[in-house]
Amino acid sequence: MDKIVVLDFGSQYSHLICRRIREFSVYAELVPYDISLEDLKKHNPKGIIFSGGPSSVYDPEAPIPEEEIFNLNLPLLGICYGHQLIVNKFGGKVKRANKEYGSSLLTIDNDKDLLNGVGESVRAWMSHGDEAEVIPPGFEVIGHTKSAKAAAIASKERSVFGIQFHPEVVHTEQGTEILRNFVLKVCDAKQDWTMEGFIESEVEKISKIDGNVLCGVSGGIDSTVAALLIHKAIGDRLKCVFVNNGLLRLNEEKEIDEMFKNNFKVNFTTVDASETFLNKLKGVEDPEKKRKIVGEEFISVFTKFAEKNGPFKWLAQGTLYPDVIESGVSKGPAAVIKSHHNVGGLPDWLNLEILEPLKELYKDEVREIAKILEVPEKLFMRHPFPGPGLAVRIIGEVTPKKLQISKLASKIVEEELIEANLYGDVWQAYAAVGDDKAVGVVGDERKYGNIVMIRVVDSIDAMTADWTRLPHGLLEKMSNRITNEIEDVTWVTYTISSKPPATIEPQ
């Protein structure tokens, strides 16, 4: 199939470029910026995109691709830092500028090719400290902002384009249309990337592995789809294990056990390790340490199960692209945001090989696969739940009291969203709790109790997210129920930070 290759220069948005391109059924793959010319040619790309990144082209350690890649006679699009690379390479001049971060009005100077159909002007998301001062010979300015006179440039003779803004983020109006123009019109790529094709190729690949597979399932969509794909490929050589770590949503362990036994024809076992997990977390406040502890204990439980019920050669997990990116083990130089229990938390002593059939996919792609595999809608429409569970929704030490508050308050938030017919319209919703307390009045008595934080966000793939503007009356109902029904809660707050700069989970 036709492919667009994205060279990763360290932007946290790099994978979003791939995600946007896949939205219109063209396969896009992220590769390291320093990929060799020989390896790049093996991908046989229809076009190349340079991502953004935190560096300056004048930094001594600035990431620079191989010289010959600029001369492949393939369509090339540079985004932000990639734009500056193109300016610098082809004889222009880049200068230091006042850092521009946020939305700017992009005026279109030439609406052919890359900016065709975008309109006379759009809001574009900027995040840069350098900009093009002099454009290279043979290039023209096709778009500008008030502060960036060469915000979009083109050499139509070479089919080389550079844009200072980020079309891959939702904050850029018509951003997907700009990428669509590059991929479909400039690169002439065929739209032949489908989830049906992915299932077929992944099942064929997995069917060739030897040995038995142990799959940790959480009841979430990712691990469930991973298990069903593997089962489709190897049948009874797969064994699914659900570990109750005590950090689940209210009564979730019972729901998951019933769901698997009633809906899926796979070998399934539940292990109750809740007491062990909670003991390991006693006294631990640092969020990264909590993630590592949960990750290592998961692997410990799986390893012990494998020793008793094996032999197993593989440990399967529902790892997705965003998990890999944020854990800092992606193919590029992006910084670590947080460790994920099934990525950054894997210990050195693990003696099972890892099988991750979904690690190149995004959440909405996994949901599409779930529909194809006829997973019950109730399951694939559930909101995402973090691998470390409530350990990352409880700020500070995980205590029985805070655990109970988080479970009950989150259940109330979900129930009220369902009652308002809004549950399926939002990406994620929960209630978090920390050590902060506030004074309240219960009856005629002054009471010093916990503060609960409600978090509801809209997103497509969890790479970016915006806080949900819920009706005030709905928030009032949630608050009243939480303070009335949960002992020791006096205040309820609503979190209105988007990602970035915040993350979806508090820790």
The pLDDT assigned to 52 comes to 92
* CA gap 80, 50 in Å, rounded: 9
What is the average per-residue pLDDT within 56-81? 92
Backbone angles phi, psi at 417, to 5 degrees: -65, -40
Please write the tens of the pLDDT for every residue from 462-507: 778 899 999 999 999 999 999 999 989 999 999 999 998 899 999 8
Residues 400 and 475 in one domain: yes
Q: Of 4-18, 87-101, 178-192, which has the strongest mean pLDDT? A: 178-192
At position 148, the amino acid (one-letter code) is A
Residues 13 and 157 in one domain: yes
Residue 260 near residue 242, CB atoms below 8 Å: yes
**Does residue 502 sit within a domain?**
no
The pLDDT assigned to 334 comes to 45
**pLDDT at residue 339 tops 80:** no
- Residues near 174 by Cβ (< 8 Å), separated by ≥ 6? 117, 118, 119, 122, 167
pTM (predicted TM-score): 0.72
The pLDDT assigned to 463 comes to 74
Residues 200 and 265 in one domain: yes
**pLDDT at residue 347 tops 70:** no
C-alpha distances in Å from residue 107, one per residue of 98, 145, 266, 298, 434: 20, 6, 56, 52, 46
The pLDDT assigned to 432 comes to 97
Residues 176 and 307 in one domain: no
Provide the CATH number for the domain around residue 316: 3.40.50.620
More reliable by pLDDT, 142 or 348:
142
Residues 181 and 207 in one domain: no
Backbone region of residue 6 per phi and psi (left: phi > 0; alpha: psi in -120 to 50; beta: other values): beta
Question: What is the set of active-site residues?
Answer: 80, 166, 168
The pLDDT assigned to 98 comes to 63
As a residue count, the chain comes to 507
The pLDDT assigned to 349 comes to 63
Tokens, residue 263: 């809906």
Q: Which of residues 358, 380, 402 is at a domain's end?
A: 380
Burial 402-411 (b: 16+ CB within 10 A, else e): bbbbbbbbbb
The pLDDT assigned to 233 comes to 96
**pLDDT at residue 275 tops 50:** yes
Percent of the chain having pLDDT more than 90? 65
**pLDDT at residue 337 tops 50:** no
Residues 216 and 292 in one domain: yes
The pLDDT assigned to 183 comes to 98
In 3D space, the residue among 200, 191, 193 whose CA is nearest the CA of residue 373 turns out to be 200
At position 205, the amino acid (one-letter code) is K
What is the average per-residue pLDDT within 387-410? 95
Residues 321 and 423 in one domain: no
Residues 376 and 442 in one domain: no
Residues 200 and 222 in one domain: yes
**Does residue 507 sit within a domain?**
no
Provide the CATH number for the domain around residue 454: 3.30.300.10
The pLDDT assigned to 120 comes to 94
Q: Which of residues 186, 212, 247 is at a domain's end?
A: 186
In 3D space, the residue among 176, 200, 160 whose CA is nearest the CA of residue 125 turns out to be 176
Residue 459 near residue 16, CB atoms below 8 Å: no
- Provide the residue range defining the domain that includes 405: 393-494
Tokens, residue 2: 């036709």
> What band does 441 get if pLDDT is binned at 50, 70 and 90?
confident
At position 478, the amino acid (one-letter code) is M
Residues 156 and 209 in one domain: no
In 3D space, the residue among 248, 207, 278, 238 whose CA is nearest the CA of residue 410 turns out to be 248
Residue 76 near residue 86, CB atoms below 8 Å: yes
What is the average per-residue pLDDT within 247-267? 89
**pLDDT at residue 340 tops 80:** no
Residue 295 near residue 345, CB atoms below 8 Å: yes
What is the average per-residue pLDDT within 380-389? 86
**Does residue 449 sit within a domain?**
yes
E strand or H helix at 126, and its extent? strand 121-134
E strand or H helix at 196, and its extent? helix 195-206
What is the average per-residue pLDDT within 330-346? 46
**Does residue 499 sit within a domain?**
no
Number of domains in the chain: 3
In 3D space, the residue among 318, 316, 314, 315 whose CA is nearest the CA of residue 358 turns out to be 318
How do beta strands 121-134 and 93-108 pair?
antiparallel
Please write the tens of the pLDDT for every residue from 219-236: 888 999 999 999 999 999
> What band does 357 get if pLDDT is binned at 50, 70 and 90?
very high
**pLDDT at residue 326 tops 70:** no
> What band does 457 get if pLDDT is binned at 50, 70 and 90?
very high
In 3D space, the residue among 277, 472, 239, 275 whose CA is nearest the CA of residue 389 turns out to be 277
* CA gap 430, 505 in Å, rounded: 9
C-alpha distances in Å from residue 413, one per residue of 54, 410, 460, 499: 38, 5, 21, 21
**pLDDT at residue 318 tops 80:** yes
How do beta strands 140-144 and 267-272 pair?
unpaired
Residues 474 and 367 in one domain: no
Please write the tens of the pLDDT for every residue from 46-68: 999 999 988 888 888 899 999 99
Q: Which of residues 186, 221, 246 is at a domain's end?
A: 186
Backbone region of residue 156 per phi and psi (left: phi > 0; alpha: psi in -120 to 50; beta: other values): alpha
More reliable by pLDDT, 333 or 216:
216
Residue 507 near residue 290, CB atoms below 8 Å: yes
Residues 301 and 155 in one domain: no
The pLDDT assigned to 195 comes to 94
E strand or H helix at 106, and its extent? strand 93-108
Q: What is the mean pLDDT of the chain?
A: 89
Tokens, residue 72: 């492949």
Q: Tokens 């030439």 belong to which residue?
A: 110
Residue 495 near residue 453, CB atoms below 8 Å: yes
Please write the tens of the pLDDT for every residue from 202-211: 999 999 999 9
